[in-house]
Amino acid sequence: MSTQLAILDRADTAAAVLSPVRRRILRALGEPGSATTVGQAIGLPRQKVNYHLRTLEEAGLVEHVEDRRKGNCTERIVKATATHYLISPSVLGALGDTPTQRADALSSDHLAAVSARTISEVAELRRRAAEAGKRLPTFSLETAVRFATPGDHAAFMEDLSNHVAALIARYHDESESEGRWFRLALGSHPALKAVPREEEEDDDE
């Protein structure tokens, strides 16, 4: 089944997309195609494309769509299972970082570790939800803010922390047997470049 984003959480699957040639093949398979049509699109012999297609299909990155007659031959039509891919930090196993409760909240190491854990856990939760035929209840909010001074930035962080703590105190309830734990992760970092005003306005809508 095709999806927009696939989170790759197995080492063999992640390794399959590290090849530049296979990434070109996946891009060419945004629409169903055969080894012949892909080869023509990226300038590679059909036999070489077929070799890579077998690897990609074994890794679950390409799926069979149909068999199509072309003259005296039958072409195998396949399609990429996603349009974009993300490698989960869980692929690294014990080498992957895990955030700790006592970590410095202002540390970029901690922010990266929290982000990595989010990706790893969401990947596993997506897999479980798909197997159960259920929708995964998630929420994300992204925006940009420009601070006039470092003092304003510090004050914002303190206000945000206080508001979140108040909301948690208001809604946290461990008494209900049907309740469910949710993990909330908040983080911020300097923007790599200025955020266009129209993008800020889109976030507000």
Summarize the confidence of residues 111-118 as an average pLDDT.
93
pLDDT for the residue numbered 140: 95
Q: Is residue 98 very low, low, confident or very high in pLDDT (cuts 50, 70, 90)?
A: confident
pLDDT for the residue numbered 101: 64
Contact 7, 115 (CB under 8 A): no
d(CA 99, CA 114): 6
Query: Longest Cα pair distance anywhere in the chain, in angstroms?
Result: 74
pLDDT at 97 over 90: no
pLDDT for the residue numbered 9: 92
Q: Is residue 204 very low, low, confident or very high in pLDDT (cuts 50, 70, 90)?
A: low
Task: Write down all domains in the chain, each with its CATH number in brackets.
Answer: 3-85 (1.10.10.10), 93-138 (no CATH), 141-205 (no CATH)
pLDDT for the residue numbered 94: 82
Quick: pLDDT tens for 164-195: 999 999 999 999 999 999 999 999 999 998 87
Quick: pLDDT tens for 8-36: 999 999 999 999 999 999 999 999 999 99
Residue with the larger pLDDT of the pair 149 and 100: 149
pLDDT at 201 over 60: no
Contact 20, 50 (CB under 8 A): no
pLDDT for the residue numbered 62: 96
The whole-model pTM stands at 0.80
